[in-house]
């Protein structure tokens, strides 16, 4: 009887290790499933960089992971004030021009999640984290719509998804 109790306890512990969500990540979900993720901690920042479809120059949106699991946009960097790009900052934000690039900082725009359509032709969406860059269409098919959100993954879910920076 005691051996059975120990065996069941070991089995439950092993199941917990494999199936209980423990690792905080920024997940890129396609069709409700994690397609890719970034292991991340509260306070960390990451960026989405893409080529603007009209003026064909890079735009970078910088985000921060907050304690409550929301994603806060904190900065925007771009090269042209053409169609679709702001010509100034909102109240409380700072607009600067340095070395031919426009910077909006001091942003505090909070989102529970972000929807992103992975570009088919021009956009070339990339994720930037800790100085490294990964092109999203190498792991997520172009034309896909992904939901970017902070969540926790189990060990099994981590194995199924693609760690973008591992």
Residue 28 lies in a domain: yes
Q: Are 142 and 119 in contact (CB under 8 A)?
A: yes
**Higher pLDDT residue, 39 or 161?**
39
pLDDT category of residue 5 using cuts at 50, 70 and 90 = low
Higher pLDDT, 7 or 78: 78
Instruction: Tell me the pTM.
Output: 0.88
Domain membership of residue 26 (yes or no) is yes
Number of residues that this document lists for the chain: 166
Per-residue model confidence (pLDDT) at position 21: 78
Domain count for the chain: 1
Does 134 reside within a domain? Answer: yes
The one-character DSSP state at 66 is: -
Helix (H) / strand (E) containing 2: helix 2-19
Neighbours of 47 (CB within 10 A): 18
Confidence of residue 47 (pLDDT cuts 50, 70, 90): very high
Distance CA 33, CA 160 (A): 10
Is residue 9, in this structure, part of any structural domain at all? no
* pLDDT value at residue 78: 94
Rounded to an integer, the average pLDDT of 143-165 is 90
Q: Give the model's pLDDT for residue 160.
A: 80
**Domain range for residue 136?**
21-163
Model pLDDT for residues 110-119, shown as the tens digit of each residue: 999 999 999 8
């Amino acid at each position: 009887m005691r051996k059975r109790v120990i065996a069941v306890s070991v089995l439950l512990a092993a199941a917990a290790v494999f199936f209980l969500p423990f690792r905080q990540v920024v997940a890129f979900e396609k069709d409700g499933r994690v397609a890719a993720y970034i292991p991340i901690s509260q306070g960390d920042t990451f960026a989405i960089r893409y080529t603007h479809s009209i003026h064909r120059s890079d735009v970078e949106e910088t985000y921060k992971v907050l304690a409550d699991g929301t994603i806060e946009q904190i900065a925007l960097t771009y090269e042209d004030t053409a169609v679709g790009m702001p010509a100034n900052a909102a109240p409380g934000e700072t607009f600067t021009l340095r070395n031919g690039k426009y910077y909006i900082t001091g942003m505090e725009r909070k989102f529970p999640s972000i929807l992103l359509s992975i570009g088919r032709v021009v956009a070339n969406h990339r994720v930037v984290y800790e100085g490294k860059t990964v092109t999203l269409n190498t792991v997520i098919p172009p034309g896909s719509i992904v939901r970017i959100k902070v969540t926790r993954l189990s060990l099994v879910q981590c194995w199924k998804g693609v760690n973008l920076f591992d």
